[in-house]
């Protein structure tokens, strides 16, 4: 998929105020500081579309970006470790939950996981919650440039072993690096194929 246009549309904390269009949406979410903004900028080929920050918890709203005028990329707040007050954390965890439970335009979530770390309970629990609520998702392993190929394989195998304790099969996943543009075509191809399937069903 060639990204011709990527434009910011709206930020808000209420699902009811999200765009009314029936365009398919893909939501990006992960632990704070997992490299979400960098990944979004890499995918869309825009340096500053999503605000990057060394300080965890920068994204605190539901951000909609219109891509190629035919689908939405949704940037959601990170979960866990964000340096914000407990009250603020509760508030945006609530609207994340509302978004996933109520947003009918959502086609798939992408759960970002730092490939350098062992499986984290907070990520596993969040994916379990998505599964229990019947929300389709893929895993995006980030920061693959920080490891050698063998270490990437080993870490993914560990993740798979952990996931298979509660899942029948390993969810769909992608290995990416924002700085090296690794995995860009794979993620965009997945979105493109899914959009074509949706259009075929609608027609």
According to DSSP, the β-strands at 106-114 and 173-175 are unpaired
192 or 31, greater pLDDT? 192
Q: Give residue 56's pLDDT.
A: 44
pTM for the full model? Answer: 0.90
Helices 149-163 and 121-132 pack at an angle, to 10 degrees, of 50
- What percent of the chain lies above the pLDDT cut of 70? 89
Per residue in 112-168, pLDDT (tens digit) is 999 999 999 889 988 999 999 999 999 999 999 999 999 999 999 999 999 999 999
> To which residue do tokens 């499986």 refer?
119
Give the confidence band of 203 by pLDDT, cuts at 50, 70, 90: confident
Lowest pLDDT segment from 4-13, 23-32, 42-51, 187-196: 42-51
Domain ranges of the chain: 6-183
Q: Give residue 26's pLDDT.
A: 98
Distance CA 48, CA 187 (A): 19
Q: Give residue 53's pLDDT.
A: 46
Residue 118 CB neighbour total at 10 angstroms? 8
pLDDT > 90? residue 188: yes
Domain topology for 6-183:
Rossmann fold (3.40.50)
Q: Give residue 153's pLDDT.
A: 96
φ, ψ dihedrals at 62, nearest 5°: -85, 115
Average pLDDT over residues 181-193: 98
pLDDT > 70? residue 57: no
Q: Which residues pair with 65 in a beta bridge?
A: 8, 73
Distance CA 160, CA 101 (A): 26
Lowest pLDDT segment from 16-20, 55-59, 173-177: 55-59
Q: Give residue 47's pLDDT.
A: 84
């Amino acid at each position: 998929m060639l990204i011709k246009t990527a434009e910011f549309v709206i930020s808000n904390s209420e699902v009811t105020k999200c765009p009314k269009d029936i365009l398919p949406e893909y939501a990006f979410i992960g632990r704070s500081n997992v490299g979400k903004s960098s990944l979004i900028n890499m995918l869309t080929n825009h340096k500053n579309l999503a605000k990057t920050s060394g300080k965890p918890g920068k994204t605190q709203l539901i951000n909609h970006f219109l891509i190629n005028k035919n689908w939405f990329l949704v940037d959601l707040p990170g979960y866990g470790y964000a340096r914000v007050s407990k009250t603020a954390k509760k508030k945006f965890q609530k609207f994340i939950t509302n978004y996933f439970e109520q947003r009918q335009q959502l086609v798939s979530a992408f759960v970002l996981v730092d490939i350098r770390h062992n499986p984290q309970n907070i990520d596993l629990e969040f994916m379990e919650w998505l599964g229990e609520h019947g929300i389709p998702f893929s895993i995006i392993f980030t920061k693959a440039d920080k490891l050698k190929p063998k270490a990437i394989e080993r870490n993914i195998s560990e993740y798979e072993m952990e996931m298979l304790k509660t899942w029948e099969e390993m969810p769909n996943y992608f290995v990416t690096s924002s700085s090296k543009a690794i995995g860009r075509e794979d993620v965009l191809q997945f979105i493109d194929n899914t959009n074509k399937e949706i259009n075929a069903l609608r027609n």
